[in-house]
Amino acid sequence: MAIVGHLINGQIVTDGDRNQDIYNPSTGEISKQVALASRTTVERAISVAQDAYPAWRNTPAIKRARIMFKFKDLLEQHADEICSLIGAEHGKISHDAAGELQRGIENVEYACCAPELLKGEHSKNVAPGIDSWSEFQPLGVVAGITPFNFPAMVPLWMYPMAIVCGNCFILKPSERDPSSTLYIAELLKKAGLPDGVMNVVNGDKEAVDTLLADDRIKAVSFVGSTPIAEYIYSTASANGKRCQALGGAKNHAIVMPDADMDNAVSQLLGAAFGSSGERCMALSVAVAVGEAAADQLVSKMAEAMKTLKIGPCHDSSNDFGPVITKQHQQKVFGYIDSAQEQGASVVVDGRNPDIAGYEDGFYVGGTLIDHVTSQMESYNAEIFGPVLQVVRVNSMQEAMDLIDAHEYGNGTCIFTRDGEAARYFSDHIQVGMVGINIPLPVPVSYHSFGGWKRSLFGDLHAYGPDGVRFYTKRKTITQRWPSAGVREGAQFSMPTMS
Ligand code: NAD
């Protein structure tokens, strides 16, 4: 059986004493195995990155950027292969995989701006004859640890910017769908990146813990579930590393009584069920304001869900595919059971999906649950499946209080025609990314991505301008060139410009 290996110093290596099965979620079959890197393998990757660092750090930013231009071209040329690798291991439909890849490519485009982004700040004559400037230097060897749900896009949030800023990179992708991630990283070599600058180690906790413990790793970017994000952030920080750790989510959409209900329903349909709900920005809770709006929303949504087409990844007429594993499928079913047991009404039930010819695939049908309350387990947990829950409230303030009380604060959205209400909502809501009649307010690559509360540990958000700051450290230089023979006397008070 084919084994997905590691990319170390420009070579694919499959060493390691442990392997793990990779499934095709559309069929339920084991398709490959992935090598799980041992501590020794990870330390070898860190050593080659450390060796590559001095030359890469001194490579002019414009030359680093040129490699990113070429990389973007290669990503576009190989888009079909990448999307089919994503589909085969993640299960997302080709149109959705293409969207993920395009979002990743946009991060590469932004990284091409490195010479502009790294120009620094300059002040002439801060005191007579004295100039001062700040420059942004690379950190050294940095690491990224990524989740299964965006095997192309989330790694591309990280390493193009890290590398173009002059760092060397070690990526530890999800062990559940590593093939597209590895394939993309190999394209960087074809784009002209020197060996050792970008390395991929596949693996599990052993690989991650090695990265977290090694003094040569200067910064860690993590994206994944909240318990692991919290562990990564606290361990990396305790070990003196810079860390940004993005966690889980529970994204609410407020549906106001004045909303264009047909539009809200079609927007919610895509945002709740696209990618089987396995997006950290998926809208998983609709908060309907007023009983009339709630009744209308539930009946129109139930009707619209009759059109949902679910099936294997290679059929691009499908709206969404399976979830990632059998265990995850059972977990999602368990949340639907628990909502029902706790008194909610399952209006559309996805627990018995009937996908002809793909009976062993990990499918969950689109599910709509009404009369959900904030006490229910299914409300509080991140389900990460194609399940939309409806909570009924009496006012916009009640809806906002509900959202603010939730432990997560990744994304949210309001559907309304009232500009004043929307402005108040976006100003006050305790969530990092807000949509106004926009169901998936994922920032474009030249802004930055990040949630609030327990959806992000750290200060800087991912990619965009915060990405440049995360992968560089500021150095501020103050300079004077005294004229020959001019000597200043010792000054014992704090120097000022008074
Ligand atoms: P996960 O937390 O299980 O895994 C993420 C990474 O952490 C993987 O590389 C995995 O190998 C590693 N890991 C897992 N357990 C570990 C442990 N005990 N010690 C060290 N490392 C460990 O997440 P997942 O299931 O792959 O991805 C889904 C989650 O990611 C969801 O919670 C989703 O909301 C979140 N996510 C968040 C964002 C965001 O931007 N906030 C984006 C995408 C996904």
The finding on whether 106 has its CB within 6 A of some atom of ligand 1 is no
Q: Dihedral through CA 20, CA 24, CA 27, CA 28, nearest 10?
A: 20
DSSP result, 324-365: S-HHHHHHHHHHHHHHHHTT-EEEE--SS---TT-TTS----
Neighbours of 177 (CB within 10 A): 28
- CA atoms of 395 and 388, how far apart (whole Å): 20
CA of 149 to the centre of ligand 1 (A): 9
Could you give the CA distance from residue 243 to residue 239 in angstroms, rounded to a whole number? Answer: 10
DSSP 159-214: HHHHHHTT-EEEEE--TTS-HHHHHHHHHHHHTTPPTTSEEE---SHHHHHHHHH-
| Dist CA 85 CA 179 (whole Å) | 6
Cα 88 from Cα 91, distance rounded (Å): 6
Dihedral of the alpha carbons of 79, 82, 86, 92, in degrees to the nearest 10: 20
Q: Does residue 384's CB lie within 6 angstroms of at least one atom of ligand 1?
A: yes
Q: What is the dihedral of CA 159, 161, 163, 166, to 10 degrees?
A: -150
Note down pLDDT in tens along the chain; length 498 residues: 899 999 999 999 997 779 999 999 999 999 999 999 999 999 999 999 999 999 999 999 999 999 999 999 999 999 999 999 999 999 999 999 999 999 999 999 999 999 999 999 999 999 999 999 999 999 999 999 999 999 999 999 999 999 999 999 999 999 999 999 999 999 999 999 999 999 999 999 999 999 999 999 999 999 999 999 999 999 999 999 999 999 999 999 999 999 999 999 999 999 999 999 999 999 999 999 999 999 999 999 999 999 999 999 999 999 999 999 999 999 999 999 999 999 999 999 999 998 999 999 999 999 999 999 999 999 999 999 999 999 999 999 999 999 999 999 999 999 999 999 999 999 999 999 999 999 999 999 999 999 999 999 999 999 999 999 999 999 999 999 988 777 778 889 998 877
> Does any ligand 1 atom lie closer than 6 A to the CB of residue 221?
no
CB 259 within 8 A of CB 286: no
State the pLDDT at residue 398: 98
Catalytic residues: 280
The minimum-distance atom of ligand 1 relative to the CA of 246 is 41
- Exposed, middle or buried by CB within 10 Å (0-12, 13-18, 19+), for 340? middle
Alpha carbon distance 450, 456 (integer Å): 7
CA–chain centroid gap for 352, Å, is 30
pLDDT of residue 498: 74
Residue nearest to atom 43 of ligand 1 (CA): 280
Torsion 309-336-21-360 (CA) sign: negative
Check residue 486 and give its pLDDT.
75
What domains are there in the chain, each with its CATH number? Answer: 3-247+455-477 (3.40.605.10), 251-436 (3.40.309.10)
Angstrom distance (rounded) from CA 125 to CA 132: 8
Please say whether the beta carbons of 220 and 212 come within 8 A: yes
Say yes or no: CB of residue 204 within 6 Å of ligand 1.
Answer: yes
In a 3-state reduction of DSSP, which class is residue 399?
helix
| Closest ligand 1 atom to 410 CA | 41
What is the predicted pLDDT for the residue at 496?
86
216 burial via Cβ count (<10 Å: 0-12, 13-18, 19+):
middle
CB atoms within 10 A of CB 258: 14
Q: What is the dihedral of CA 31, 147, 74, 48, to 10 degrees?
A: -100
As a whole number of angstroms, the distance between CA 43 and CA 35 comes to 15
**Rounded Cα–Cα distance for residues 354 and 277 (Å):** 18
243 Cα to the center of ligand 1, angstroms = 15
Check if 89 has its Cβ closer than 6 Å to any atom of ligand 1: no
Both structure tokens of 441: 């307010």
CA of 269 to the centre of ligand 1 (A): 25
For the chain, how big is the Rg over CA atoms in Å? 25
Is the distance from the beta carbon of residue 382 to the nearest atom of ligand 1 less than 6 Å?
Answer: yes
Pick the residue whose CA is nearest to atom 18 on ligand 1: 205
- 147 within ligand 1 shell (Cβ under 6 A): yes
CA of 226 to the centre of ligand 1 (A): 8
Question: For residue 174, which atom of ligand 1 is closest to its CA?
Answer: 9
Residue where the block lists tokens 């393998």: 41
Atom of ligand 1 nearest to the CA of 226: 32
Ligand 1 near 225 CB (within 6 A): yes
Report the pLDDT value the prediction gives residue 323, as an integer from 0 to 100.
98
Rounded distance from Cα 147 to ligand 1 centre (Å): 4
Q: Is 235 in the pocket of ligand 1 (CB under 6 A)?
A: no
Which of the 8 DSSP states describes residue 250? Answer: -
Helices (H) and strands (E) in the chain, counts: 16, 23
The protein residue with its alpha carbon nearest to ligand 1, atom 19, reads 205
Using an 8 Å Cβ cutoff, are 118 and 179 in contact? Answer: no
Specify the residue with its C-alpha closest to ligand 1, atom 39. 246
- CA dist., res. 127 & res. 129, Å (int): 6
